[in-house]
Amino acid sequence: DGGITQSPKYLFRKEGQNVTLSCEQNLNHDAMYWYRQDPGQGLRLIYYSQIVNDFQKGDIAEGYSVSREKKESFPLTVTSAQKNPTAFYLCASQRSGAGADTQYFGPGTRLTVL
Amino acid sequence: GQQVMQIPQYQHVQEGEDFTTYCNSSTTLSNIQWYKQRPGGHPVFLIQLVKSGEVKKQKRLTFQFGEAKKNSSLHITATQTTDVGTYFCAGPDRGSTLGRLYFGRGTQLTVWP
């Protein structure tokens, strides 16, 4: 089965702790993206990567970090510097970085910081 | 910077009524894409429009791309409860062969039975 997986589905962390969200795809897509979704805010881009070992900041990168060591994987770390980390996090992939390609989304991780 | 605006933010309709959401870009788009997110789910690609003035239909859904390629609309005829969800439009980064999509904030559709 081809697709994008995100784990875990729900994640609880204490304030001040870093947490890493997993995103894996077996679609052989070059580009991968991380979005944050808050109620009424739509999808806000955190980071994206169009090729292995390269990534760019999106609109709300502060307090987040990523790595892209493998084509299949694009983990997102929510650091303690992120002031309001509780949100729904969506990972997406795209065949190439071209604007004509569509994005495929994972099921998301709902992070709650207590 | 480049922006994609979408209205209305919320729409509540009685089952059987029609629904329309509108999308406007600050720049000319090479294409526009539409996604649907069911409550508790993730966005799923619906369709892509590429040509100026293009109209595409998927059963009760009609998608239009404006002549100037800066606006688009999604119209649902005779809504059903299965249409509930948030509809997003998205356009690619202008002037770049590579890059991100700019998403509108979405229109959340509620359908009352």
Reported as a pLDDT band with limits 50, 70 and 90, residue B98 is low
B85 touches chain A (CB under 8 A): no
Selected residue with higher pLDDT from B98 and B41: B41
Reported as a pLDDT band with limits 50, 70 and 90, residue A41 is confident
State the pLDDT at residue A99: 61
- 3-state class of B82 per DSSP? helix
For residues A59 and B17, give the distance between their C-alpha atoms in angstroms, rounded to a whole number: 37
Q: For the residues B47-71, what does the mean pLDDT come to?
A: 96
Count of CA atoms in the C-beta half-sphere (13 A) of A107: 7
**A95, closest residue in chain B (CA to CA):** B98
For residues A29 and A64, give the distance between their C-alpha atoms in angstroms, rounded to a whole number: 23
Q: Are A99 and B42 in contact (CB < 8 Å)?
A: no
Q: For the residues B36-62, what does the mean pLDDT come to?
A: 96
- Is residue A92 within 8 A of residue A85, CB to CB? The reply is no
Q: Considering chain B, what percentage of its residues have pLDDT values greater than 90?
A: 87
Q: Considering chain B, what percentage of its residues have pLDDT values greater than 70?
A: 96
For residues B26 and B93, give the distance between their C-alpha atoms in angstroms, rounded to a whole number: 11
Q: For the residues B14-35, what does the mean pLDDT come to?
A: 96
Q: Output the DSSP codes for A25-78.
A: E-S--SEEEEEEEETTTEEEEEEEEEETTEEEE-SS-TTEEE--SBTTB--EEE
B100 touches chain A (CB under 8 A): yes
Long-range contacts of residues A79-82, Cβ cutoff 8 Å, at least 24 apart: A79/A18, A80/A15, A80/A16, A80/A17, A80/A18
Reported as a pLDDT band with limits 50, 70 and 90, residue B97 is low
Mean per-residue pLDDT over chain B, rounded: 94
Selected residue with higher pLDDT from A75 and B93: A75
Burial class of residue B67 in the structure, from the number of CB atoms within 10 Å of its CB (0-12 exposed, 13-18 middle, 19+ buried): exposed
